[in-house]
Structure 1
């Protein structure tokens, strides 16, 4: 049995773990490490610190399937729909630019429910708050180091971290990259943004006709969603929740500033846009340094094999594109490459 480590409990890592379990079954022992306190990555769902039943998606907001991917990834969509993890996005959306025939889906339990589904299916051992700092080749294995001094040995390693974080890893990885691979990774670019999650008391009313609105005339805010309305979870005993995303230029301009400094600026602009907004009971601010991939690895290969034996692979949306189908496509390529290496 091969012991396989997947670094990153986001969408690509979780789908990859699920596919490996289904295709290799008991031939692999799967371990997933993530530096955060829970799974999800950029598909994480945050709960209100005051009302645990209220939640908000600070990262990915909904899933859009183009006609092409709706066909090629039909089994993935059918599985999530049959489990009730995905449902059609029927709530009103204002200002959406897409008119390519895509189907749009929301997650009643939050976007992290997609990742949690795949991790559960994988049966992988999950280790959170494990920040990987280095990878060292030890004969036919990899010794992986954590920030807390942890050291464990694996037969194969799959890295799904953002590319800049991959390139910061200590050890043998960067030395094993070919000049062409290094150039490809150096070319990857990400957008950056701030996100706010607002939680309102039970009975609060947000008097707008939409659930999601793309803001066209603000230098600060690009996207606002009444998350509870988008997911159809509003009720009399549970207050509404809202998510706000800043524009990419604003995020890039203020990227190095503390999120605590940016929160009041974003809130002021929100009140300019929605002057009748009720007072929230709590606000959560998050900085997405690596929000979406703006420049992918050339050719979008889905994955990069740094070494075949012992296997060391890199994947994620940087090797495809930043949406659900891009992550699934990367996971499929990682799984194929890993099976041939093992």
Structure 2
């Protein structure tokens, strides 16, 4: 079997792993590395510090499909709905813009359940806290180094992390990029924001009627959600969880500050917007340096092939657009680029 490494256990990486398994069956041994302590990427779901509270989606909040994508990606939506991973978003979201023929979905078990579904379907070997630092071409294989030390050899590598992290990789990547490819990657830009989760006790009353709300009268806060209500229903005996996302300008303004210094500013503004909130049991703050793609690779090709043999391919929302369907499009594009190269490819011997 060919050994394929996918770097990044977010939506694109997990779906790439799943599609490769379904297309090539037992011809590939798929390995997924991620530098984080959990799978999900920007579709992460954080466990509460206390078991008496609900978990929190600190990244993506729900999935919105245009009518066209809902049709072209019908098989993916049908699979997730059938598995119980997705359900129609039925709670009120103040400020959500209606779209002709579009559909909105939520995840009863949190957004990371989408990624975990595709990882499970892929049968891939998942290794967390594996931070890739360098790639070296070794004949017909790639030697991939980790920050913690050591390296492994693979027949193909797929990079799905944010583009600035791709460009930081040491080794042979830099000299393999053409001038045009470097220019295309250099134009990619991301928005940045902070996310806050407030975990409350079971008897807490938040005093709001909505499940989520887009905020228009604040330079700091853009979005607030009662996460358990957004998902349809809370588990008995668990308290509510409030998720707060800052605006992009606020995130950019404070990007280089420690999140511990920014958290009080967000809480102060939240208190102004919702003065009736009770005291939470605990609070978690997360900085999304790479929140959403603002400028994608020109013409949105879905992927970028750095080398045909041994295959080195980049994918992710930066090569398409920054939502569920953009990641699906990218994963399909990566599959098309790799499938012919990997069929019957001689393994590296490991």
Where on the TM-score scale, by shorter chain, does this alignment land: which range?
over 0.9
2:218 maps to what in 1?
A: 218
How far is the alpha carbon of 1:174 from its aligned partner? 1.3
Q: What secondary structure, in the 3-state scheme, does the structure 1 residue paired with 2:196 have?
A: strand
Question: How far apart are residue 234 of structure 1 and its match?
Answer: 2.2
Aligned counterpart, 1:295 = 295
Q: State the Cα distance separating 1:165 from its structure 2 match.
A: 0.4
- Paired position in structure 2 for 1:183: 183
Question: Compared with structure 1, are the counterparts of its residues 90 and 195 closer, same or farther at alpha carbon in structure 2 (3 Å cutoff)?
Answer: same
Offset from partner CA, 1:115-154 (integer Å, 9 cap, x none): 0000000000011000000000000000000001120000
Matched, 1:268 2:268: yes
Number of residue pairs matched by the alignment: 342
Give CA deviations for 1:136-191 in whole Å, capped at 9, x if unaligned: 00000000000011200000000001000000000001110111100000000000
Q: For 1:59 and 1:68, how far apart are their aligned partners in 2?
A: 25
Secondary structure of the corresponding residue to residue 229 of structure 1 = helix
Report if aligned partners of 2:52, 2:238 keep a CA contact under 8 Å in 1.
no
Q: Where does residue 152 of structure 1 map in the other structure?
A: 152
Aligned to 2:323: 323
Separation in structure 1 between the aligned mates of residue 269 and residue 90 of structure 2, nearest angstrom: 28
Aligned to 1:321, the other structure's residue is in SS state coil
Q: Which residue of 2 aligns with 1:209?
A: 209
Match of 1:166 in 2: 166
Q: Which moved more, 1:233-242 or 1:115-124?
A: 233-242
Deviations 1:313-338 (A, max 9, x none): 00000000010000011000001101
Q: Deviations over 1:61-101 (max 9, x none)?
A: 00001000000000000000011100000001101134343
Q: C-alpha root-mean-square deviation of aligned residues, in Å? A: 0.9
- Tell me, in whole angstroms, the C-alpha distance in 1 between the residues paired with 2:157 and 2:27: 15
Q: Which runs of 4+ in 1 moved over 3 A?
A: none
For structure 2, which runs of at least 5 residues remain unmatched after alignment? 343-350
Partners of 1:212 and 1:101 in 2: how far apart?
A: 21
The residue matched to 2:85 in structure 1 has which SS?
coil
Cα distance in 1 for residues equivalent to 2:252 and 2:46: 23
Query: What is the TM-score when the length of structure 2 is the normalising length?
Result: 0.96
TM-score when normalising by structure 1: 0.99
**Residue number in structure 1 paired with 2:79:** 79
Counterpart Cα distance in 2 of 1:249 and 1:68: 31
Offset of residue 206 of structure 1: 1.2
- Cα distance in 2, alignment partners of residues 103 and 129 from structure 1: 35
The runs of 5 or more residues in structure 1 that have no matched partner are: none
Q: Distance in 1 between matches of 2:85 and 2:259?
A: 31
Distance 2:73 2:13 in 1: 17
SS for the counterpart of 2:18 is helix
What is the DSSP-based 3-state SS (H/G/I as helix, E as strand, rest coil) of the residue aligned with 1:5?
strand
Cα distance in 2, alignment partners of residues 61 and 80 from structure 1: 16
- Tell me how far 1:236 sits from its aligned partner: 4.8
Query: Residues of 2 paired with 1:169 and 1:138: CA distance?
Result: 16
Is the 2:90–2:232 contact (alpha carbons within 8 Å) kept by the matching residues of 1? no
Q: Is the 2:53–2:202 contact (alpha carbons within 8 Å) kept by the matching residues of 1? A: no
Kindly state the Cα deviation for residue 53 of structure 1 after the two structures are TM-superposed.
5.9
Is the 8 Å Cα contact of residues 53 and 201 (structure 2) preserved in structure 1?
A: no
Judging changes above 3 Å, is the alpha-carbon distance between structure 1 residues 138 and 57 closer, same or farther for their aligned structure 2 residues? same
Q: CA deviation at 1:235?
A: 4.6
Contact 1:45/1:112 (CA < 8 Å) preserved in 2?
Answer: yes
Shift in CA distance, 115/272, structure 1 to aligned 2, threshold 3 Å: same
User: Is 1:11 matched with 2:11?
Assistant: yes
